[in-house]
Amino acid sequence: MLASQAAVRGLQRSLWRALSTARCVQAAHGKDVSADVLDCSQPQYCNRPDTPLPDIPFVRNLTADQMKLKEKEKGPWTKLTMEEKLALYRLSHELTYAEMRKGTNEWKTVVGVILYFMGFTGLVVWWQRVYVYGDVPQTFSEDWVEKQTKRMLDMRTNPIQGISTHWDYDKKQWK
Amino acid sequence: MSLPKPVMRGLLGKRLRLHLPLAFAFALTCAAAVKFGVTEPRKRAYAEFYKNYDATKEFNNMREAGVFESVRPSGE
């Protein structure tokens, strides 16, 4: 009986192993998970106009040249050339304010897809009107609407600014 | 390349100096438009209607048309 229990557990484990992603398995084994997983317990870099100084610099692992530049930065900044200043900016920031604010053409895609789906919905509704809906009530028939309008005019409905002002009661016709 | 220091203060005041009068002007214009486009014509229409309104004549016309239940047309 213990052997069969062990066999079942072994089967379950292999099934779980097969279904789970490699990353889960790695993490379960305590291995270092791949770099593209965000560790939110650490400070993150962000490009936000309201955060001019993000928590960490953009480039963490500096090359030898970049280290030299960082050393030079510790001295008087007037000695830095324009290219060096820009290089230092790009080390600590990914985008400039202009680049952050630039925006994309994404809205055109969004509007286009919205209109496309609205069009498709229109076709669906049309099909429904033809093949699904039953007849409209008799109160919409020409005859009924005529009698209804005559009754409204006889009652002097909205006589000041509405429908009865458009009817000529003497000539018995629309004005 | 030494950029000039950007303006740091008075930004809201500067915006309000333009937009507050604009907002008031827009609101007043809307109110005036509604007053002279809607309410004044409506008041005139009502005054015109009731200037020569004969209630009894209208009642009799409606009665003849047969819309009332309390009085039938004079013929019946």
pLDDT at B2: 79
Residues of A with Cβ-Cβ distance to B67 under 8 angstroms: 151, 154-155
Minimal-distance CA residue of chain B relative to A165:
B49
Minimal-distance CA residue of chain B relative to A157:
B62
**Alpha helices (runs of H) in A20-154, residue ranges in sequence order:** 22-28, 64-73, 82-92, 97-101, 106-131, 142-154
pLDDT at A38: 87
User: Does A160 contact B46 at a Cβ distance shorter than 8 Å?
Assistant: yes
Residues of B with Cβ-Cβ distance to A159 under 8 angstroms: 49
Average pLDDT over residues B21-38: 98
- What CA–CA distance (Å, rounded) separates A128 from A118? 15
Interface with A, mutate which of B1, B63, B67, B71 (most A CBs under 10 A): B67
Domain spans of chain B, in order of start: 33-76
Q: How far is B9 from chain A (nearest CA, A)?
A: 17
pLDDT at B46: 96
User: Does B1 contact A160 at a Cβ distance shorter than 8 Å?
Assistant: no
pLDDT at A55: 93
Reference A48, options A91, A92, A88, A95; nearest CA is: A95
Is B26 part of the contact surface with chain A (CB cutoff 8 Å)?
Answer: no
Q: What is the pLDDT of residues A46-56, one digit of tens each?
A: 999 999 999 99
pLDDT tops 90 at residue A58 = yes
Let me know if domain A47-102 sits in CATH 1.10.442.10: yes
Q: Of A151, A156, A160, which is closest to B58 when you measure between CB atoms?
A: A156
Q: Of B49, B66, B67, which is closest to A159 when you measure between CB atoms?
A: B49
pLDDT at A19: 52
pLDDT at A28: 44
Q: What is the pLDDT of residues B38-70, one digit of tens each?
A: 999 999 999 999 999 999 999 999 999 999 999
Minimal-distance CA residue of chain B relative to A170:
B61
Q: What is the pLDDT of residues B12-25, one digit of tens each?
A: 999 999 999 999 99
Q: What is the pLDDT of residues A6-47, one digit of tens each?
A: 555 656 555 555 555 444 444 444 445 556 788 899 999 999
A12-20: long-range contacts (C-beta < 8 A, 24 or more apart)? none
Please check whether residue A96 is in contact with residue A108, taking contact to mean a CB–CB distance below 8 angstroms: no
Please check whether residue A137 is in contact with residue A129, taking contact to mean a CB–CB distance below 8 angstroms: no
User: Does B67 contact A151 at a Cβ distance shorter than 8 Å?
Assistant: yes
C-alpha to C-alpha distances, A20 to A8, A12, A26, A35, B45, nearest whole angstrom = 18, 12, 10, 19, 77
Q: How far is B67 from chain A (nearest CA, A)?
A: 6
Q: Mean pLDDT over all residues of chain B?
A: 94
pLDDT at A80: 93
How many CA atoms are closer than 13 Å to the CA of A70, on its beta-carbon side?
A: 13
- What CA–CA distance (Å, rounded) separates A42 from A53? 16
User: Does B61 contact A169 at a Cβ distance shorter than 8 Å?
Assistant: yes
pLDDT at A23: 47
Q: What is the pLDDT of residues A129-175, one digit of tens each?
A: 999 999 999 999 999 999 999 999 999 999 999 999 999 999 999 99
